[in-house]
Every structure is written in C-alpha cells, then in structure tokens.
A and B are shown apart, each in its own frame.
Chain A
Amino acid sequence: MDEVPPLDDLFKERLVKYLTSKNKPLTIQGMLDAAKERGVQLYPVSFKTILSNLADETQNPKLRGMFRMLNVLAVSVSLGLLGLPPDTLLKSVENIFSRKPQIAEMNKHAANYAYNFATAKYAKYKYQLLLTPKEPDTIMVQGFQSTGLGKIASGCRFQSYYPITPASDESVFLESNETFEVENNRPGSTMVVQTEDEISAIGMVIGATLTGTRAATSTSGPGFSLMAEALGWAGINEVPIVVTLYQRSGPSTGLPTRHGQDDLQFAIHAGHGDFPRIVYASGDIEEGFYDTAKCFNYAENFQLPVIHMMDKFIASTVATVKRFDPKKITIERGKLLEKIDTQDYKRFAPSPDGLSPRSRLGLENGIFWNTGDESDEYGHISEDPGNRITMMDKRASKLDLALKTMPKEDQAANFGVSEFCVVSWGSTKGPILDAIEMLKKEGLAVGFVQIKLLQPFPTDYLKSLLKGTKTIIDIEANQSGQLGSLLNEHLDHKVDYYILKYTGRSMTCTEIYDSLKKILQNKAEKKQVLTYGV
C-alpha cells in the first residue's frame, strides 16, 4: 500500500480497513480481488507483453522498455474493448508529436497493435460504446465558455477579474477571444483586465458600467466575499453590474477545486444594509449562455446588481449541446439615455415605476453624482429623513417590478408537478431529471420545479405551481438546505424532505433515484445526506 502513489491518508486508512475486513492482502492484487468479489469484471492486460511483442514484431528491442507508451497503449486497449474506433486517438498522437514524426509513427503503431489485440481478445465484451450519428449544429462546450459566449453576444465589453478557481477560466476565455466581428464586418472587442484583487475587479466593473458600457466580473466564493461592500455601493447607486458567481465548496478555502452550491444565501444577503439585487441561477451549460444575456437585461432594465449563479459542476463539465443561437437573445438597455436636452438632469428623479432615466459618463447635460451615502435626486449626500424613506422605497420597489414583469417561465422551470414534487436550483437539474425518468419507467411519478429566480423570490408563482403538491422535496448541494430555508421562509407549505450532498462531488442520478424512492416508499428520514463517492 505504501508504494501506491500519493493517496489521501484518510482514504488509505479506509482502504486498509476495507481490505483487512475482506481478508485481502494490502496490495494492488488485493484491491483487484476485492473488486472482483463485488462483481467487477476484470480483464487483465499485460502491457509488458504487448511491448515485448511489439519489439519483436518491429525488430526494435528498445520498445521493450518503452514504458512511457503505457498511456497510449491503455487508451487504445480501452477503445478496442468498448468498440470505439481508434481514429481520434491516432489523430491526437499525430498532433502531440507533430514535430517528432518518428515518435508519432512509433506511438501510432503501438496504438494500432494494442487496439487489434483488444478487439481480437475481447470481441464478446458486452458493454459497447457505439457512436451515435452526429446531429447538425452541435457544439462541444464547457460551462465557462457558455457564459463567456453569452457575455460576448450580449454586448459585455468590459470584464475585470482576479484569478480564482473555477471562475477565471471564463475571463481567460474572454481574453482569448477578445476581438470579434460585429455586424458589417467591423471589429469589436472586450476589454479584459486582470486586477490586483476582487475588490478592484468589482470597483472597475462599476466604473466601466457608469460609462454606459455593459460590464461584468466573474468570481467564486472567496472573491465574492471581498466584493460585498462594493455590491452595496452598486445597489444604492443603481448601477447595473453583473457578477457571475461560479460557486465552489466553502467555507473559506473549503474544497477549492470541487463543487458546491453553498453560496445561495450569501448571494442573496451579501453586503450591509437593505438594497435590491437580482440573484439568478442557471441549471446547465445551455442555460448559462441564454441566462447571461437575460442577466444583463435584468441589470439594465431594473438598474441594480445582478448575481448570476453558476457552479463548479457546470463550469468544468464538457457537454455537446445545440449550437447557441444569438438570435434568440434580446438586448434591453432599460432607461439608458442616448441624449439629454434638459439642463436640470436628476439621476435619481422619482418616477411611477421607480426607475429613473439613466445617464452615463460623457453624455452632454447628463452630469450626475453618485455616493455611497444616502443621496438626493441629483446624487448629492442627504441625510433628510423623508428623503431617506423615498429613496429606500424607490430602490426596493424595483424588485416588485421585476417580479411583475419577468415571464413566469424565466422565474422557474416547471418539469411537471405531481403529488411528490422536487424543488431545486442550479446544476442539480440534470441528475434530477434523469432520476425522475428512472422512476417514471417504474410507473412512479415525481414532479420537478427548478427555481431560477432566487431574489426576489417568486413566491406567488411557486405557490400556484405547488398548490396540488402534498410532499415537497428539496434537493441541493449544501449542508444546511439553503434553498429549503428560502422555501420555508416564503411558502406556507414547509419542505417535507431534504436530499443534500456536500462532499464536494456532484450528485449522481442513481443516488437521487435511491433517495426519492425511499421517500415514495415512506421509508425516508426527513434529511438524507448523499455520500456517493465517499
């Protein structure tokens, strides 16, 4: 066991205990034997033999010791076993060794040899990964690319960020694609600024947004913690910034490269004082693209900060999805002014809908003042108690307006409601839909509502959706059930069951299926903690 490359000590301990309980030696052979007893089918392949056969066949004795080729051999054998053609592997070998044709040739030869070996020996292997026909207009993307593309398409022209996992992939993607075409073959570009910290990142976003530019930052939990103060500044000054929040597991550094959904309550409450904001969550990669455009529209329509919730699971997942269609997105700039004729412009002038016409830096007659202090209609500091009520209420009223005007299907996605209904948010969407499908095949009906708008909370819509539901099941990737708390706060019907996972690993459909089934059979505890992967 000591020779096994760096394994977490705790994991090693658990493994030793397990192997001992199974009366197996503490060796790799012991692990394999234990796996076999659990029903795992083993197909031993001696790479040493393959190498030595290769050496004989090509009369190149050096190959006998070419253990560096093990990767290529192993991948190739796996492809042969699963019945997948070796073309892609051969192509990548060519790419990687493009400057060393001899080595490329040797590796390709080895790959072919291993492939033929596997297909001949395991012709009857029952699990085959067959190629499916390609659908037209399909792209292969990761989550961070979807929000990045969403930003480019929706006219975000300024992004500042401080490096952090997993959010900074998006900013680097934006910088890699910083120039692009706009209509009529004109160049457009995104300015991407790497700042000294996240405080600077959000400060710059606010500064850029004040010029009328659509601007955003992208961050993860620790960075977002640093942004809290400036978020309130954007709130009181009605600056339409967008913060893309790629969650990972906290608290503090937590599990920095792993998944989690534990920033929901923080996103809703970050910053001191009462100020309006929109918190909006995407459930998968495709939503990431279209929701990014929506988030900019919400920000500008309602003149407030928008926090777009994504997470590590979406950020790093590679998926083939339907090619994004920029024609499906709209660009709504709200009350942003192009021209001002009056000599007495007031940035925070009262209006029936709580929204004041918005000037920007550089606009003639459009001079305004902003301050983190409470201010009057011009933006000058005012501590007048009456003005305070007017301004606080003006800003707060924008949330009612958002709820009133936002289409219901943008507030929450209804995948069918039934007596038992799952309520969730974010990237749990995929495994939940799969689990529900598994149950459906057994004739068991479970509904699912995916909440996308989390602040302001779509209470009325959810009440109407869930009125026939007898059992509400909250599923999310955090320890305390943060969405559950929101549901309990806003709905009369309290959450009946919680299914939670906080190992830093994403949920699987089978563990959700198992937990739901227990609930349906009335055998479940109120709170089930998922442990798959432990």
Chain B
Amino acid sequence: MESNLSDYKTEVHNDWCPGCGDFGIVNAIQMALAEMEIPRHKAAIFSGIGCSGKTSHFVNVYGIHTLHGRVLTFAQGAKLANPEMTVVAAGGDGDGLGIGAGHFVAAGRRNVDMTYIIFNNGVYGLTKGQASPTLKLGLQTKSLPEPNVNQAVNPIALAVASGFTFVARGYAYDVRQLKDLIIAAVKHRGLAFLDVLQQCPTYNDINTRDWFAGMDNIDEMTKKPRPRIYKLEDTHFDPVVHIDSPDEENEKLTQALIKSNEWVPNYLENPPATQQISYKGKSITDISRILDSLQV
C-alpha cells in the first residue's frame, strides 16, 4: 500500500506563530509515518500541554492531547495495553523536563517500546515566555524581568542517566534529518528519546535561528558564520553500544526443548487490549482456582 504524505495531515487550522520550529517537527513526524507506511489506525500521537501539545491534532492518526507534563503516562498505558500501536509522545521542554520530569526519569527506567520527542525552545511559549528548564543560567529572554536564576537541565544527559535506550538530538529546521531520526527512533525496540532544538520566534529572542546558525559569530578569515549546530555523524561518532559477544567455545549448548510454559504472561502476544473477556454479556474468566485457595 502506497502511503501519501497528505494522508497523514489533518485539515485542522494551525495557529502556531510564523517561523515556529514546531512546523518542522510536525512535518517530520508526518513524513516519517508516511515513509514507514504505518497504517493510520495503527499509530497514535500523544501530546502534552503547550504549543507543541497541538501536534496531535495536526496528524491524521489517533491523536491524544493529554495533560501538562503527563503525556508519557498516557502513552505508556496505551502502548502496554496494545503493543501493536506505534506510539509517539510529543511535548515541550517545560512539559517534559519541568512538570513532567519525574515521569521522564521513570519512563526511561521502564523502557517501553515507543518514541518521545521534546520540542526544545527554552521557553514556555503558550504562557508568554517564562524560562523553561532548558534555558541557560543567566540568560534573559524577552519576557523575563530578571536573568534566569536556574541552571539548565541537559535533556540528553538526563535521558542517558534515566535509562533511555535510544537518545538523539535533531534540529527543527533540518526536517530531512529529523525525519530519519524519527524513523530510527520508532524502529528502535525500546524507549527512544529525541531532543529537538528549535527557536521560539516570539519569546526566545536569544536562541534564534540565526543564533543556531552562528550569524553572530563570523569567521574573520572566511567571512562565514560559525554555526553552533553540527551533525555528529560527520565526526564519525559511533552511537551503538557494543556488548562483547560471549565466549562460545566454552559454552555447551543443549539442543532440545527445555521448557515450555504458556502460562507466563506474554504481553506482546496476549496484550490486554486483545484479550476476550466476555461472551454474550457473561464473564469468561475462570476464577475458581483462586476461590478454591480461599475456600474454608
């Protein structure tokens, strides 16, 4: 089945500010879903609260716009109950690293197979520009009465420390690479984290597109800007964690069926969402073994 990019777009009016990085991210999400040809009813975008929260309304798959800071909790519940779904959670830096930081760490430990994208612009855009947890100490973006008094959290370091098994960073204005990163994140079996840098054209007047591009930092020799953003892959960095292969010479391998136990819960083959629970309005669950154990 050929998937068209347009199939993954809704006709919902978009009220993000012109120049917002969110446009690039939502485009990359739609492109990634189309390229992977994921059937629309097999994908769900969960989003938090903030400008980025509206992302789920712009993608024509199941779209669950949740609560501030809680996107990961809703998304994990759905993925655990129905592992057939491709689940992408999206939210802002304040949503995920401020009010939702506890869930960020806990989700990393849990390593559920889904993707989490943080739209990182250093400010709370929807509430008119307060400092977010990723704004650097001492910066004074235009809404701040005083320079930021808090250290910035490093989302990448926090993700690694929390146990995310795939950690990446993209740039909202490099949609093609971002699309590839999203595809890799979705294909990764485990929890994938994607930190996406962007500008907030309305409230972050410091970390702007020009700032990322280094327009304020011109090389005197070449007269070219020195960009603050670069591609790690250009440095021949190998992100894959290699585990030494076991010493097979000393291993004796048994060739036989050793154990078969179908009574172990298998949430991939028998997930909560597909278990039949009733027939003609009657329960088909047999609790007699448990009741027997309580019999006096």
Interface set of A (CB-CB < 8 Å, partner B): 134, 137-141, 145, 149, 152-155, 157-158, 160, 177-183, 187-191, 193, 195-197, 199-215, 229-230, 233, 293, 320, 323-324, 326-327, 329-333, 360-373, 379-381
Asked whether B209 is an interface residue with its Cβ less than 8 Å from the other chain, the reply is no
Q: Give the docked Cα–Cα distance between A369 and B264 (Å).
A: 35
Q: Give the docked Cα–Cα distance between A211 and B84 (Å).
A: 10
Asked whether B36 is an interface residue with its Cβ less than 8 Å from the other chain, the reply is no
**Chain A residues with Cβ under 8 A from B281's Cβ?**
330-332
List the A residue with the shortest CB-CB distance to B105: A196
Asked whether B278 is an interface residue with its Cβ less than 8 Å from the other chain, the reply is yes
Choose from B60, B72, B103, B273 the contact partner of A213 (Cβ within 8 Å).
B273
Q: Give the docked Cα–Cα distance between A87 and B101 (Å).
A: 56
Q: Would B77 and A207 count as touching, CB distance under 8 A?
A: yes
Shortest beta-carbon contacts, A-B, top 3: A207-B77, A203-B73, A155-B277
Q: Would A380 and B57 count as touching, CB distance under 8 A?
A: yes
**Chain B residues with Cβ under 8 A from A200's Cβ?**
70, 72-73, 76, 102-103, 106
**Chain B residues with Cβ under 8 A from A207's Cβ?**
46, 64, 73-81
Q: Would A371 and B57 count as touching, CB distance under 8 A?
A: yes
**Chain A residues with Cβ under 8 A from B12's Cβ?**
380
Q: Give the docked Cα–Cα distance between A137 and B283 (Å).
A: 20
For this complex, 19 residue pairs linking A to B, each with C-beta atoms less than 8 Å apart, are A137-B295, A141-B294, A155-B277, A157-B277, A180-B287, A188-B285, A189-B265, A196-B102, A211-B82, A324-B287, A324-B291, A330-B282, A333-B278, A361-B44, A365-B41, A367-B41, A373-B65, A380-B12, A381-B54
Q: Would B286 and A183 count as touching, CB distance under 8 A?
A: yes
**Chain B residues with Cβ under 8 A from A196's Cβ?**
102-103, 105-106
**Chain A residues with Cβ under 8 A from B278's Cβ?**
155, 331, 333
Q: Would B290 and A211 count as touching, CB distance under 8 A?
A: no
CB distance from B105 to the nearest CB of A (A): 8
Q: Would B286 and A369 count as touching, CB distance under 8 A?
A: no
Q: Give the docked Cα–Cα distance between A371 and B63 (Å).
A: 8
**Chain B residues with Cβ under 8 A from A155's Cβ?**
275, 277-278, 283, 285
Asked whether B121 is an interface residue with its Cβ less than 8 Å from the other chain, the reply is no
List the A residue with the shortest CB-CB distance to B65: A371
- Give 7 new A-B contacts, CB below 8 A, not counting A180-B289, A332-B281: A160-B77, A213-B81, A230-B67, A367-B61, A369-B64, A372-B67, A379-B63
Asked whether B190 is an interface residue with its Cβ less than 8 Å from the other chain, the reply is no
Q: Would B78 and A191 count as touching, CB distance under 8 A?
A: no
CB distance from B108 to the nearest CB of A (A): 11
Q: Give the docked Cα–Cα distance between A327 and B278 (Å).
A: 11
Interface residue total, chain B, C-beta cutoff 8 A: 65
Q: Would B66 and A233 count as touching, CB distance under 8 A?
A: yes
Q: Would B283 and A208 count as touching, CB distance under 8 A?
A: no
Asked whether B49 is an interface residue with its Cβ less than 8 Å from the other chain, the reply is yes
Interface centre among A183, A195, A361 (most CB of B within 10 A): A361
Choose from B60, B105, B289 the contact partner of A367 (Cβ within 8 Å).
B60
Q: Give the docked Cα–Cα distance between A429 and B182 (Å).
A: 57
- Tell me if A's interface is mostly helix, strand, loop or mixed: mixed
Choose from B10, B44, B286, B291 the contact partner of A139 (Cβ within 8 Å).
B291
Asked whether B260 is an interface residue with its Cβ less than 8 Å from the other chain, the reply is no
Choose from A179, A197, A206, A333 the contact partner of B74 (Cβ within 8 Å).
A206
Q: Give the docked Cα–Cα distance between A461 and B46 (Å).
A: 43
Q: Would B70 and A230 count as touching, CB distance under 8 A?
A: yes
A152-B290, A369-B64, A373-B65 known; A362 and B84 CB under 8 Å? Answer: yes
Interface centre among A158, A204, A215, A364 (most CB of B within 10 A): A204
**Chain A residues with Cβ under 8 A from B61's Cβ?**
367
Q: Would B285 and A134 count as touching, CB distance under 8 A?
A: no
Q: Would B82 and A362 count as touching, CB distance under 8 A?
A: yes
Choose from B73, B76, B284 the contact partner of A199 (Cβ within 8 Å).
B73
CB distance from B259 to the nearest CB of A (A): 16
Q: Give the docked Cα–Cα distance between A202 and B70 (Å).
A: 10
Q: Would B277 and A331 count as touching, CB distance under 8 A?
A: yes
Q: Would B81 and A197 count as touching, CB distance under 8 A?
A: no
CB distance from A199 to the nearest CB of B (A): 6
CB distance from A77 to the nearest CB of B (A): 25
Q: Would A180 and B285 count as touching, CB distance under 8 A?
A: yes
**Chain A residues with Cβ under 8 A from B277's Cβ?**
154-155, 157, 182, 188, 214, 331
CB distance from B34 to the nearest CB of A (A): 15
Asked whether B249 is an interface residue with its Cβ less than 8 Å from the other chain, the reply is no
Chain B 169-188 near chain A by CB (<8 Å), digits 1 or 0: 00000000000000000000
Choose from B102, B263, B265, B287 the contact partner of A326 (Cβ within 8 Å).
B287
CB distance from B4 to the nearest CB of A (A): 16
Asked whether B240 is an interface residue with its Cβ less than 8 Å from the other chain, the reply is no
CB distance from A212 to the nearest CB of B (A): 6
CB distance from B255 to the nearest CB of A (A): 27
Q: Would B82 and A369 count as touching, CB distance under 8 A?
A: no
List the A residue with the shortest CB-CB distance to B74: A207
Choose from B39, B46, B67 the contact partner of A233 (Cβ within 8 Å).
B67
Asked whether B128 is an interface residue with its Cβ less than 8 Å from the other chain, the reply is no
Choose from A160, A331, A366, A373 the contact partner of B41 (Cβ within 8 Å).
A366
CB distance from B286 to the nearest CB of A (A): 4
Q: Would B41 and A180 count as touching, CB distance under 8 A?
A: no
Q: Would A205 and B77 count as touching, CB distance under 8 A?
A: yes
**Chain B residues with Cβ under 8 A from A205's Cβ?**
77
**Chain B residues with Cβ under 8 A from A193's Cβ?**
76-77, 80
Asked whether B272 is an interface residue with its Cβ less than 8 Å from the other chain, the reply is yes
CB distance from A271 to the nearest CB of B (A): 11
Asked whether B62 is an interface residue with its Cβ less than 8 Å from the other chain, the reply is yes
**Chain A residues with Cβ under 8 A from B85's Cβ?**
211, 361-362
CB distance from A123 to the nearest CB of B (A): 29
A155-B283, A211-B78, A230-B70 known; A138 and B65 CB under 8 Å? Answer: no
**Chain B residues with Cβ under 8 A from A320's Cβ?**
296
Q: Give the docked Cα–Cα distance between A365 and B231 (Å).
A: 40
Q: Would A372 and B65 count as touching, CB distance under 8 A?
A: yes
**Chain A residues with Cβ under 8 A from B70's Cβ?**
199-200, 203, 230
Asked whether B279 is an interface residue with its Cβ less than 8 Å from the other chain, the reply is yes
Q: Give the docked Cα–Cα distance between A364 and B72 (Å).
A: 24
Q: Would B74 and A191 count as touching, CB distance under 8 A?
A: no
**Chain A residues with Cβ under 8 A from B41's Cβ?**
362-367
CB distance from A378 to the nearest CB of B (A): 9
List the A residue with the shortest CB-CB distance to B44: A361
Q: Give the docked Cα–Cα distance between A295 and B220 (Å).
A: 73
Asked whether B228 is an interface residue with its Cβ less than 8 Å from the other chain, the reply is no
Q: Would A370 and B287 count as touching, CB distance under 8 A?
A: no
A187-B262, A189-B270, A324-B291 known; A206 and B77 CB under 8 Å? Answer: yes
Q: Give the docked Cα–Cα distance between A131 and B46 (Å).
A: 59
Choose from A177, A187, A233 the contact partner of B290 (Cβ within 8 Å).
A177
Q: Give the docked Cα–Cα distance between A320 and B279 (Å).
A: 30
Asked whether B224 is an interface residue with its Cβ less than 8 Å from the other chain, the reply is no
Asked whether B235 is an interface residue with its Cβ less than 8 Å from the other chain, the reply is no
**Chain B residues with Cβ under 8 A from A190's Cβ?**
272
Q: Would A191 and B267 count as touching, CB distance under 8 A?
A: yes
Q: Give the docked Cα–Cα distance between A288 and B152 (Å).
A: 49
List the A residue with the shortest CB-CB distance to B79: A207
Q: Give the docked Cα–Cα distance between A532 and B274 (Å).
A: 51
Q: Would B296 and A138 count as touching, CB distance under 8 A?
A: yes
Q: Would A369 and B56 count as touching, CB distance under 8 A?
A: yes
Q: Would B272 and A323 count as touching, CB distance under 8 A?
A: no
A140-B296, A191-B265 known; A183 and B77 CB under 8 Å? Answer: no
A363-B41, A367-B62 known; A153 and B265 CB under 8 Å? Answer: no
**Chain A residues with Cβ under 8 A from B10's Cβ?**
380
